[in-house]
């Protein structure tokens, strides 16, 4: 099922997508389950929000597709290359990516996101499914030239608005063979398939949970396929993953 977080003028609420409507849930499904209210709202009458705001962190995997790793010089380790984005970087579908006044390129990185559903520490790879609530789309926006200049990635990937998520969480999905396409103003820039990931989701969850305790609502972004990544003020980035939908965000220079 597809679960959305939305606003219709008041506090954020959650709902299950049912055709053109949302069946409203009693609370946050990560913590209160999937019990519904006797209430439906039309999808076109609400604003979709980021489907989850991680309580603690977004875990990202760098250079997890062979061609993208080659683009960046094959400098990564043999194990998953993991780093963090702050939860303050999260925005939702339709929200604006604010481009900071930095030199060089700001790039998109369309990725499959894994939403953690329960506390996970030192998870065995074979048990990975027990800890996954569902899947969403993420954009690991990066100030690429700042990333290279700094020699580490926290600032270049951690700016406010640099982690769009959405439009929904899909709870029933096989993530092993999904097409990922990224376009800018309708022009295809990246295309890949999760089948090509160097490190699969079981390995990533096992590796990351050995470093950090993963909490319900934490998101793991699993890496981007290769392609031309730059975008600028006034352009719109669309990321589509089959089975989930399309995450769309315009970009504007920050005031």
Same domain, 93 and 191: yes
- Judge whether 52 lies within some domain: no
Same domain, 136 and 202: yes
- Judge whether 243 lies within some domain: yes
- Give me the CATH number covering residue 33: 2.30.30
Same domain, 21 and 75: no
Report how many domains make up the chain.
Answer: 2
pLDDT in tens, the chain (255 residues): 999 999 998 899 999 999 999 999 999 999 999 999 999 999 999 999 999 999 899 999 999 998 766 666 657 788 999 999 999 999 999 999 999 999 999 999 999 999 999 999 999 999 999 999 999 999 999 999 999 899 889 999 999 999 999 999 999 999 999 999 999 999 999 999 999 999 999 999 999 999 999 999 999 999 999 998 899 999 999 999 999 999 999 999 998
Same domain, 114 and 220: yes
- What is the three-state SS of the chain? CEEEEEECCCCCEEEEEECCEEEEECCCHHHHCCCEEEEEEEHHHCEEECCCCCCCCEEEEECCCHHHHHHCCCCCCCCCEEEEECHHHEECCCCCEEECCCCCCEECCEEEEEEECCCECCCCHHHHHHHEEEEEEEECCEEHHHHHHHCCCHHHHHCCCCEEEEEEEECCCCCCCCEEEEEECCEEEEEEEHHHCCCCHHHHHHHHHHHCCECCCCEEECCCCCECCECCCCCEEEEEECCCEEEEEEEEECC
- Judge whether 53 lies within some domain: no
- Judge whether 200 lies within some domain: yes
Same domain, 17 and 88: no
Same domain, 39 and 72: no
Same domain, 161 and 220: yes
Same domain, 143 and 30: no
- Judge whether 38 lies within some domain: yes
Q: Is the pTM of this model over 0.85?
A: yes
Same domain, 73 and 42: no
Expressed as residue numbers, the domain containing 249 is: 58-253
């Amino acid at each position: 099922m597809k679960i959305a977080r939305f606003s219709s003028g008041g506090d954020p609420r959650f709902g299950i997508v049912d055709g053109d409507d949302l069946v409203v849930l009693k609370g946050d499904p990560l913590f209160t389950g999937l019990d519904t209210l006797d209430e439906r709202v039309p999808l076109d009458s609400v604003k979709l929000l980021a489907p989850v705001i991680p309580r603690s962190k977004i875990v990202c995997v760098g250079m997890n597709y062979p061609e993208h790793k080659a683009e960046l010089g094959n400098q990564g380790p043999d194990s998953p290359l993991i780093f963090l984005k702050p939860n303050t970087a999260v925005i939702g579908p339709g929200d604006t990516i604010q481009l900071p006044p930095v030199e060089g390129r700001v790039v998109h990185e369309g990725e499959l996101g894994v939403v953690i559903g329960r506390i996970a520490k030192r998870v065995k790879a074979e048990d990975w499914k027990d800890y996954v609530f569902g899947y969403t789309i993420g954009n690991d926006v990066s100030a690429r030239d700042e990333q290279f200049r700094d020699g580490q990635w926290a600032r270049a990937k951690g700016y406010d608005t640099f982690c769009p998520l959405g439009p929904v969480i899909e709870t029933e999905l096989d993530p092993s063979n999904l097409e990922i396409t990224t376009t800018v103003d309708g022009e295809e820039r990246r295309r890949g398939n999760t089948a090509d990931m160097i490190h699969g989701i079981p390995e990533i969850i096992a590796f990351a949970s050995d470093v950090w305790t993963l909490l319900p609502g934490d998101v793991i972004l699993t890496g981007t396929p290769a392609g031309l990544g730059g975008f600028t003020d006034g352009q719109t980035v669309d990321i589509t993953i089959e089975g989930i939908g399309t995450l769309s965000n315009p970009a504007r220079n920050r005031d």
